[in-house]
Amino acid sequence: MCQLLGLNCATPTDASFSFTGFCQRGGNTGEHADGWGIAFFEGRGLRHFVDHESAANSRMAAFLQTYPLKSKNIIAHVRKATVGEVSLENAHPFVRELWGRHWVFAHNGDLKDYFPRLHTHYLPVGSTDSERAFCWLMQELAKSHAGTPSVAELTLTLRELVPQVAQFGTFNFLLSNGEALWAHCSTKLHYLVRQHPFAQATLVDHDWTVNFAELNQPGDRAAVVVTTPLTTNEQWAAFEPGELKVFVDGLPQA
């Protein structure tokens, strides 16, 4: 299985701390050595990096750990290949356009015999079940709304669409359009919200402790979503199986 990492923030935030610990799971402290990727939204733009090398050994991943790109929405993934060969086109996260915005998607799990009917606008480039699922979600979202919907409307539509994919297997995923972060749990997903008063955090996978009180202002806030908790001394909340959450400005929405 793969590993997911997502950040949704009230103000542009860098992911250096979380991404550094997360990368260790890509071939060092974890077996997920079959590629990695990360996407940073910046306004309506997107910085998208993928590699078929392991995150623990990738020079590009090492560079990004020390180059603090700031974003309000970030999605990262380290891969253990189950469906589809180890190649650049099969590295998550995947990107598509819808309603004039970039959409980013990363998946953890296996979908058995999943070959949905796809139209020509949304077709996979690689050979993963994950990209097929993403293409189908984009296709069905486009069909469900005549104009650009609100985050609340998109959430309602996703609650109808996601079970149609999840019936084929394990469907843990992160999805963002730069306005919000949607996270769905089939088997395992955790989150926390870092906000004032900030405290120290120590990584599980790397010898690094950060005092966020020294780095953040009272108005800063970040929701962090991850497959397995990244830190040893913070309170992580587990998703319920089948639960879909949406995060806006660093907070889960009702």
User: Active-site positions?
Assistant: 2
The answer to whether the beta carbons of residues 91 and 33 sit under 8 Å apart is: no
* Residue tagged 């088997």 (tokens): 187
Task: Note the residue count of the chain.
Answer: 254
Spacing of C-alpha 46 from chain mean position: 14
3-state per-residue secondary structure call for 10-59: EEEEECHHHHHHHHHCECCCCECCCCEEEEEEECCEEEEEEECCCCCCCH
Spacing of C-alpha 252 from chain mean position: 15
Return the closest-CA partner of residue 76 out of 55, 90, 98, 58: 55
